[in-house]
Amino acid sequence: MGKEVWYITTPIYYPSDNLHVGHAYTTVAADALARYHRLLGEKVLFVTGTDEHGQKIERKASEAQKTPQAFVDPIVAFIQDPLWKRLGISYDDFIRTTQPRHERVVQEIFQRLLDKGDIYKGVYEGWYCLPDESYWTESKLVDGHCPDCGRPVERVRQESYFFRLSRYQAPLREYILSHPDFIQPVSRRNEMLNFIDAGLEDLSVSRTGIRWGIPVPSDPEHVIYVWFDALTNYLTASGYLQDTNRFETAWPPNVQLVGKEIVRFHTVIWPIMLMALDLPIPERVFGHGWLLIGQAKMGKSLGNAVDPIELLDRYGVDPVRYYLLREVPFGADGSYTEEALILRTNVDLANDLGNLLSRTTAMINRFLDGQVPTLNAGSDDRVLAGEAAQVYREFQEAMDQLLISDALTAIFRLVRRANKYIEEQKPWDLAKTGQTEKLANVLYGLWETLRIVSVLLTPFLLDTPDRIRQQLGLDAPVTNIKEAIFGYEPQGLGIRRGDALFPRIDKAGEAVSEESAPAPAVVEDNWVDIADFQKLEFRVGTVRAAEPVKGADRLLQLTVFDGVRERTIVSGIRQHYQPDDLVGKQVVLVANLKPAKLRGIVSEGMLLAGSQGDVLSVVTPLSPLPDGARVK
């Protein structure tokens, strides 16, 4: 029996407090990938859980006048329900490091490595970062602080067991070089190679003087290091040493998602543990970026954490999931703002998708008595069919490469193309002039596009795909991604118009009724020809500095590098962005705009931005581009 199961993991989360939206970001991404692979017809093992041992938990429990177990239990219960339940996290196993099944595996692995000589007893003297539960030598500290989190470290000297990382330095380096997909994205791979080349020192894997942890089996005065304990969870969940069939069909993991701050543990310590156990190494460890507040990492200890339950209460599950998956290219850092969540909901979900469904079902109702037409075999109109086929290919390629945001971008390109198709074909004119066959083909194409969109959105959104399908007259849920192929035979289905998919949201987070929400319109009197458009030169640049313009409430002075030189741009976005929000970000500028003097400052260009109501968002590339790249 060989590997039959597609196995994906998230990091297991530390229940020192309730989780924030950054943790939800990782877990929703893993859930989308798991759902996608189920739609491919694969067996999936999706594992998440909690990392409950360690000195930090022990101290926090003591401060709360509770036992460590009594301290973590309600937090873990909250993570499972309501948090993961409301977010629709479809995990197959939720592992807790306090479970007896896990403790048995950790102790057995420790003893095996001890017997093999890969773990030995000695004395540890060095620095320890309590918040990260990590050991550091003097040379690795940065200004006397933890190089990962920047917080103070404490001096530790005690008897300890050590794991021989140094023995496996050369084999690990060779493995990484010969398996280029193991560490992703490439930037993380290069960081880890540099870390390894600086030299690996044997790792202290036990502590004395604390009780909250798994005891070393042959020496119970020692508690096994929390990271050695935590990393082993992926083996426990796969059935290692306990369920041979489960382990042989699932191991190794296909994808392990982790935050970039813990890539080192998962791509240095973890694969060396597996090498020492003679076990296969995971296929891919993907270190994603952070959701930032301004320029700061979101974190419980920093006091800037955003509660995902509050967002779910205010906006509902699909807008929150869509925002998390769409807003940030997976692997890069991204800035969280509630304004951006509202904008994504209003523009993509309410306007583009909701409007397409509303217009299509209304026209089928009006012109075809609500009966879904079939495609005339002689039709040569392949506009939407061709676009749908291209999007289907791009969607699959993106998901296979873990480019979740790119997959959603492709889907919504199809949605926007269908909206444009309505304006091009003008079904109301076809009905007026009696072109009934062409009218039926156009409306079939729109209906079929929405059906395909409902299939492609199934890994990402929980309720929306079925709501779309219900209005299209379809009752069966999506079961396979191959249903997203153009050419479905509706066989006399009748549409069932319903409520708007997504009511628009005002800046305060309140839903706006469809009657009061302005509908998008194309004003033909404002059209320009291509010659006028081509006079404008749009280029990508990076903001290198930003500061408020004195005496101007709305203006920021930006220094933007356009690939050749730095130029000054004065922009009226101060009410929407703090200067630090923009530094380091790529923007799109009108590069050949005639310079103008604003408040005594010569402005040499203009930024592109989108706005709706009181919400404004500066246009930025989905993926980094060279400064000076032409936008066209």
Same-domain status, 25 and 128: yes
At 395, the amino acid letter reads F
Binning pLDDT at 50, 70 and 90, where does residue 519 land? very low
Domain end position, chosen among 512, 536, 559: 512
Domain end position, chosen among 249, 267, 288: 288
Alpha helices in 96-225 (DSSP H): 100-116, 169-178, 186-197
| pLDDT of the residue at 517 | 41
In angstroms, the Cα distances linking 548 to 544, 553, 568 are 14, 8, 13
Same-domain status, 503 and 391: yes
Arithmetic mean of pLDDT, 282-294: 87
Mean pLDDT, rounded, of the chain: 89
Tokens 């009934």 sit at which residue? 436
Same-domain status, 609 and 464: no
Query: Domain for residue 433, yes or no?
Result: yes
User: Of all residues in the chain, what percent are helix, strand and coil, respectively (each to 5)?
Assistant: 45, 20, 35
CA distance 69 to 100: 13
pLDDT tens digits, 340-394: 999 999 999 999 999 999 999 999 999 999 999 998 877 878 999 999 999 999 9
Query: Domain for residue 519, yes or no?
Result: no
Binning pLDDT at 50, 70 and 90, where does residue 556 land? confident
Arithmetic mean of pLDDT, 28-33: 98
pLDDT tens digits, 123-145: 988 788 888 777 787 878 888 88
Same-domain status, 102 and 201: yes
Query: Domain for residue 523, yes or no?
Result: no
CA distance 286 to 316: 28
Same-domain status, 384 and 486: yes
Query: Domain for residue 316, yes or no?
Result: no
Q: What's the predicted TM-score (pTM) here?
A: 0.79
Same-domain status, 437 and 574: no
Pull the structure tokens for residue 85: 């339940």
| pLDDT of the residue at 193 | 96
Binning pLDDT at 50, 70 and 90, where does residue 515 land? very low
Same-domain status, 555 and 410: no
CATH number for the domain that contains residue 39: 3.40.50.620
What's the DSSP call for residue 481? G
- Is the peptide bond between 252 and the residue preceding it cis, with omega within 30 degrees of 0? yes
Same-domain status, 501 and 463: yes
Q: Is the pLDDT of residue 229 over 90?
A: yes
CB 605 within 8 A of CB 590: yes
Query: Domain for residue 473, yes or no?
Result: yes
Query: Domain for residue 440, yes or no?
Result: yes
Pull the structure tokens for residue 534: 């081509």
Same-domain status, 146 and 235: yes
> By residue range, what is the domain housing residue 441?
336-512
What's the DSSP call for residue 434? T
Q: Is the pLDDT of residue 510 over 80?
A: no
Q: Is the pLDDT of residue 526 over 80?
A: no
For 72-86, 164-178, 366-380, which range has the lowest pLDDT when averaged over its residues? 366-380
Q: What is the DSSP annotation of 310-376?
A: HHHHHH-HHHHHHHHHHHS-TTS-EE--HHHHHHHIIIIIIIIIIHHHHHHHHHHHHHHTTBPPPPP
The domain tally of the chain equals 3
CATH number for the domain that contains residue 566: 2.40.50.140
pLDDT tens digits, 312-349: 999 999 999 999 999 877 777 877 889 999 999 999 99
Per-residue burial over 433-465, b = 16 or more CB atoms within 10 Å of its CB, e = otherwise? eeeeebbbbbbbbbbbbbbbbbbbbbbbbbebb
Please compute, for residue 27, the number of CA atoms within 13 A of its CA located in the half-sphere on the CB side.
28
Pull the structure tokens for residue 327: 């807003």
Query: Domain for residue 469, yes or no?
Result: yes
Same-domain status, 43 and 180: yes
| pLDDT of the residue at 298 | 72
CB 83 within 8 A of CB 309: yes
CB 79 within 8 A of CB 217: no
Query: Domain for residue 326, yes or no?
Result: no
Q: Within 10 Å of residue 355's Cβ, how many Cβ atoms?
A: 20
Q: Is the pLDDT of residue 522 over 50?
A: no
CB 65 within 8 A of CB 80: no
Same-domain status, 283 and 348: no
CATH number for the domain that contains residue 394: 1.10.730.10
The CB-based long-range contact list for 213-216 (8 Å cut-off, 24+ gap) reads 213/53, 213/54, 214/53, 214/97, 214/103, 214/106, 214/107, 215/107, 216/107, 216/110, 216/161
SS3 391: helix
Same-domain status, 280 and 346: no
CB 215 within 8 A of CB 222: yes
CB 413 within 8 A of CB 391: yes
| pLDDT of the residue at 540 | 85
